[in-house]
Amino acid sequence: MTCFWDGILGSLTQEDFETTFGIERKPNNIDFVKLLQKSNKHTENVKWNNTVLTNKELEENYEHIKDYDINTMNQGYLCSTCDPFLLLTSEIFSVNIYHKYCGNVMQYITLQSKKTLYFSSNRGHFTTCSQFVV
C-alpha cells in the first residue's frame, strides 16, 4: 500500500520538481522519499492549523523523516494528524496543504505558497482530492 506516497506524487507536477530540484522527471515513490530525506530540515516556515510548531516538535518531525525506513514503504504509512512528511512537502515545494482526515481538516500553510494541494484520508486510505469546503 503506497497510497500516501501516490497521493502526494500525484498532486505534484513535473514543473514542481524541476523548479524545486532541477530534475527533469517526476521520481518514483522510493526516489521521492529519498529526495525528501535528503532535503530534510526543520519546517519553520509552515504553520499547522494556524499554529507555529515548537522547537521540540520541529526536531521530532526531522527525526521521524530521517529515521523513516524506506523498506517499509509497501506496508503502508500511518499518516498523523500533524504529519512530518506533509509539513516537509509544504516547506520544500512552497505549497499549502489541506488534509481532511475523517471529516477533520488539517491545514499546512506556508507564506510563500505557490498553490494548494488537497488530500483526504480515513483510517486506511489516503488520496488526492479536488477542492473541498474548509
Write the DSSP string, 7-75: HHHHHS-HHHHHHHH--SS---HHHHHHHHHHT----TTEEETTEEPPHHHHHHHHHHHHH--GGGGGG
- Bridge partners (DSSP) listed for residue 5: none
Cα–Cα–Cα angle for 74, 75, 79, rounded to 5 degrees:
100
pLDDT at 112: 87
pLDDT at 28: 95
Structural domains in the chain, CATH included, are 3-128 (3.90.70)
pLDDT score for 42: 98
- CA separation for the pair 49, 81 (Å, rounded): 10
Looking at residue 132, its pLDDT comes to 66
pLDDT < 70 stretches in the chain:
132-134
Specify the pLDDT at position 86.
98
The arrangement of strands across the sheet holding 104-110 comes to 51-52, 46-48, 104-110, 95-101, 115-121, 126-128
